[in-house]
Amino acid sequence: MIYYKTEEEVELIRQSCLVVCQALAHVAGRIRPGMTGAQIDREAEEVIRDLKAVPGFKGYRGFPATLCVSPNNAVVHGIPSDHEFQDGDVVSVDCGAYLNGYFGDSAYTFALGEVAEPVMDLLRVTNTSLYLAIDQAAAGKRLGDIGFAVQEYVERRHKYGVVRELVGHGIGKNLHEEPEVPNYGKRGRGPMLKEGLVIAIEPMVNLGRKEVAHAKDGWTVLSKDGQPSAHYEHTVAVRKDKADILSDHSLIEAAIKKNPEVREVAVLNEAL
């Protein structure tokens, strides 16, 4: 069943998303080669708890950490470890928070140091595809329009692999609610989008093939061919004319500008 949110509920979800993005902005200002996933995980949890919220992922279905930290060929759901980040790594950091009865969710992929230009292109295209998808999250559109926007831009135009096994989702009182929000699909297909629907849109894109494998830890999803992957996520509310983005990546991007160890990932405006 799809749960449509009242204006009050949308604002509560926005508050939870702000907590998430403040935690991710803290990560953006701190992450660098030589740091570890375990370090940024501890710090993000402190930020969330200082803001009177609770980590949304920790303990969820047994997940052991506050952040999903997924470097290089790890697509998503990586468990933070003591392995040090290296110059040239790309690191997806996914975060959730629970505040006042509602969840927020967002993710960003960070480029550390001298990242190879083909990998930077992957990050730029994936980040851009997120906003192309959000442009379709308006009342009267269909769920398939969102997935089509990602697939058309990422796969057909740029020849990257859109992951099929992992999708976006509804969000609210539960971290994962209906409907599922795939990053592929056919335009004009699927349930009609209505005002009050709140969804997390999160393109997950591989530099090479779309196929994935699962690590022995039971959580981490890897690109099957070992090539890098990128992941960006916003929580949005469907509105009459256009989506209302409840998470705020501008906080993250402002922190990146102050961190010389992290490269900026521009949205390609010519595609929008």
Burial of 209 (0-12, 13-18, 19+ CB in 10 A): middle
The total number of structural domains that make up the chain: 1
DSSP for residue 178? E
- Residue 177 phi, psi (nearest 5): -125, 170
Phi, psi of 234 (to 5 degrees): -125, 150
Radius of gyration of the chain (CA): 17
User: 5, exposed or middle or buried, with CB in 10 Å at 0-12, 13-18, 19+?
Assistant: buried
pLDDT tens for the 272 residues of the chain, in order: 999 999 999 999 999 999 999 999 999 999 999 999 999 999 999 999 999 999 999 999 999 999 999 999 999 999 999 999 999 999 999 999 999 999 999 999 999 999 999 999 999 999 999 999 999 999 999 999 999 999 999 999 999 999 999 999 999 999 999 999 999 999 999 999 999 999 999 999 999 999 999 999 999 999 999 999 999 999 999 999 999 999 999 999 999 999 999 999 999 986 55
User: Please, what's the b/e burial string for 181-205 (b: 16 or more CB within 10 A of its CB; e: otherwise)?
Assistant: bbbbbebeebeebebbbbbbbbbbb
2 part of a folded domain: no
Structure tokens at 128: 């851009």
Would you say residue 56 lies in a domain? Answer: yes
Query: Under a CB-based contact definition with an 8 Å cutoff, are residues 211 and 196 in contact?
Result: no
Cβ count near 51 (within 10 Å): 17
For residue 271, what pLDDT is reported?
A: 58
Give the predicted TM-score (pTM) of the model: 0.97
- Please report the pLDDT score of residue 270 as a whole number: 61
Residue of 15, 12, 42, 14 lying closest to 26 (CA atoms): 42
What confidence tens digit (pLDDT) does each residue in 187-203 have?
A: 999 999 999 999 999 99
* Helices 249-257 + 7-30 axis angle, to 10: 20
How far apart are the C-alpha atoms of 185 and 229, rounded to whole Å?
20
* Stretch (H or E) spanning 75: strand 74-76
Q: How many Å apart are CA 270 and CA 272, to the nearest integer?
A: 6
The beta strands (E) that lie in 119-226 are given as 161-162, 168-170, 177-181, 198-201, 204-206, 212-214, 221-223
CATH number at residue 134: 3.90.230.10
Structural domain includes residue 49: yes
Whole-Å CA distances, 94 to 25, 72, 173, 196, 226: 12, 14, 19, 24, 20
Is there a domain that residue 183 lies in?
Answer: yes
The DSSP secondary-structure symbol of 34 reads T
Q: Which domain range does residue 155 map to?
A: 7-271
Question: In the prediction, which pLDDT does 269 show?
Answer: 80
Q: Decide if 67 contacts 219 (C-beta within 8 A).
A: no
